[in-house]
Amino acid sequence: MLYNLFGTINTLFIVVSLYGVFSQLKTVFERKQAAQCSDSPTALLSLNQFSVSFLAYLSFFIYGYSIAPFNHYIVWPRLVASLLVLGILIEIWRDRKTHLAFISMSLACVCLVGSILGLFVGETFADNGKLISTAIILLVSALIAQGYAHQIYVIIRSGSTGAVDLKMSQFILMMDISTIAFAFSMGLKQGWPLLVLAITSGVTKLIIMYLFRWVKLSPLAKARRAKAA
C-alpha cells in the first residue's frame, strides 16, 4: 500500500518537475526571442551538467523497465524528462556550435534510441538490465555530483545565474524528496540505487537555489558581474 501511495505521489512530483525542466527550455526560447538580451540564449548553462542530467533521467527510465514488476511510476515520466533535457542540449549546440556540444547532443540521441529499443527487446534484457541500470545509476550519481559542481562553479565564478532557471531546481528538488520516500517504500534492497541518486541530486539543487540568493546579496557576486561587464 505504501509502495502505491508513494509511487503515485512520486509520479505527481515528477510531473511537476517536468514543468521545471520545461521552464528551463522555455527560458532559453524566450532569451532567443528577446532582442534586448545581451547574453547568449544559453549563457552560463553548463553543458556538463545537462549532459549528466540527461543520463540521470535515462538511467531511471532503463532501471524502471528492467526491474520486476515493470515500474510505470518510474519509466514514462523519466522518458518525457529525457526528451525535454535533450531539447536543452540541442539548443545549447544550436547556440554555441562547438564540437563538444555536438558530441554531447549526438551521444544523447544515440543513448535515447538505444534505451527505447531495449524496452522492446524482452525478458533477456530485463534479466540482465537491472545490473546494467544499477551500475549506470551509481555512475550517474558520481557524474551528477561532478556535473552540478561545475554548474555551481560557473555561477560562483561569474557572480551571475545567467540563463539558469530557478524553477527547474525547485521543482526537481520536490521530485527528489518524493523519490527518496518512494525508494524507502520499495525497500532498500531494490530501491537503494534510486536513493543514492535522489539524495545526490537533491543536495546539488539546494546549493543552486542558495546561489540565486547569493547572487542578489553578495558584494563579491556584484564585483564579479561588474568585472565581466
- pLDDT at residue number 129: 59
pLDDT tens-place string over residues 52-94: 889 888 988 887 887 777 878 778 888 999 999 999 999 999 9
CB 204 within 8 A of CB 222: no
CB 179 within 8 A of CB 198: yes
Report d(CA 179, CA 198) in Å as an integer: 6
CB 205 within 8 A of CB 144: no
* Predicted confidence (pLDDT) at residue 51 exceeds the cutoff of 80: yes
- pLDDT at residue number 124: 47
pLDDT tens-place string over residues 101-136: 999 999 999 999 999 998 887 554 554 556 776 787
* Predicted confidence (pLDDT) at residue 192 exceeds the cutoff of 80: yes
CB 92 within 8 A of CB 45: yes
What whole-number percentage of the chain has pLDDT above 70?
Answer: 93
